[in-house]
Structure formats: C-alpha cells, structure tokens
Amino acid sequence: MPRAQRKTRRAADSARSSAQKKRAGVHERAAVFAPWRLEFVLGPKDAGCFLCRAAGLSDGDEDAWKKTLLLYRDAHALVIMNRYPYTGGHLLIAPRRHTHELPSLKEAESRALWEQTRLCVEVLGKVMKPQGCNVGMNLGKAAGAGIEDHLHMHAIPRWVGDTNFWPVIGQVHTVPVALAQLWDELRPLFRGRT
Ligand SMILES: [Zn+2]
C-alpha cells in the first residue's frame, strides 16, 4: 500500500476509535502537571512514618504543627497537608494508629476518618473554592499508594484547567513557601473544631 494511503487509513482508524470511545462514554482523563512531585519520587525517603510523627506531636505546639503541615487531629484521626501535592490544598486524612489494613479500623477510627474527610471538603470549599474535589484511597502498591504502610484518604481540590489555578506554583522551590502560607489560611478553620 502506498505511504500516503497508509497514512490516510491510520488517521481514519484513529478517528473511528475516538468516535467509538465517545459513544461508549470513555473520556481520556487529563493528568495533573505537578513537577515538584519529582522531588518526592526521586529523592531520598525519610526514615520512619511521617503520619505517625504527626500523630505524636504535642497538643498546642503550633510551630511543630506548621512545620509538619498538620492541620487537625482528634483521638482517632488526623488531617495533614501533602508536602508533595498533586494540586495546592491536597490534604491527607489518616488514622492515628499505624496500619495499612482498612478492615482493621475500629468503628471510632472509621467514623473519625470519614468525618475529617467531610470536614476537609468543607474547609477546602470555603478557602480554595474548587470546582470539584477528588476524594479516595489507594490501598497497596498495586493500587498506586505512595505511602503503603499507613493508610490515608486523599482530598484533592480540582479546578478546570488545574495547572493555572495557583500562579505562585511555577517552580519547585516556591512550593514549601506556598504550603506554609496555605497552612496559615486553612489552620484557623480547623482550629475552631478542636
Ligand atoms: Zn504510621
């Protein structure tokens, strides 16, 4: 088959497959562009569990809480900002107890986890005014868990065209500053609950 004809056929195949996907309700999901996550993916990993460290901080030590990006904690669960966020305002909600097994959660832990997830979506809605929110868990490596040993829920605010929503995040080195500023904004809304 001549080259030009092959090209036309490939284009036709591709258009057909795209039309089939649309009919089947399949939409390709756009990836969030978060280059600062490379630091997490490629960098050395901290020894120990950062969620357990947050669980063990003293009550009322706001400096340590800010450094750790811990926003809220009760007897059973905690809310912490993801240091390597997919988008600004990416929060993690975890039981205080170190476990990777969701079925092992006691009723009070499950309730706290869900209540704090609800609270995160409420606070993010007020402060960041997202147009949507992803909430969910990746249990185990095969499911995409970045931290496998201590289960956690993600609450990720989303905007249409995500990458432009927070202009301050343009380069990797601006992220820690942006995170500390955002902690200052989010913390008061959680502090009222403690
Ligand atoms: Zn842990």
Report the C-alpha dihedral over residues 136, 138, 139, 143, rounded to 10 degrees.
140
Q: What is the pTM of this model?
A: 0.75
Report the C-alpha dihedral over residues 61, 57, 73, 121, rounded to 10 degrees.
80
Task: Specify the number of domains making up the chain.
Answer: 1
Question: What is the CATH number for 113?
Answer: 3.30.428.10
Pairing of strands 77-81, 91-95: antiparallel
What are the tens digits of pLDDT across the range 50-108?
A: 999 999 999 999 999 999 999 999 999 999 999 888 778 999 999 999 999 999 999 99
Q: Is residue 42 part of a domain?
A: yes
DSSP strands (E only) in the chain: 70-73, 77-81, 91-95, 132-137, 153-158
Q: What's the gap in Å between 172 CA and the centre of ligand 1?
A: 27
Q: Is residue 17 part of a domain?
A: no
Q: Is residue 13 part of a domain?
A: no
Q: What is the structure's pLDDT at 160?
A: 79
Which residues are placed with Cβ below 5 angstroms of ligand 1, an ion?
49, 51-52, 98, 150
CA distance 64 to 12: 59
Show which residues are catalytic: 152
What are the tens digits of pLDDT across the range 116-157?
A: 999 999 999 999 999 999 999 999 988 888 889 999 999 999
Domain assignment of residue 65, given as a range: 32-191
Q: What's the gap in Å between 184 CA and the centre of ligand 1?
A: 25
Q: Is residue 179 part of a domain?
A: yes
What are the tens digits of pLDDT across the range 25-36?
A: 444 445 566 665
Q: Is residue 38 part of a domain?
A: yes
Q: What is the structure's pLDDT at 95?
A: 98
Q: Is residue 6 part of a domain?
A: no
CA distance 65 to 126: 21
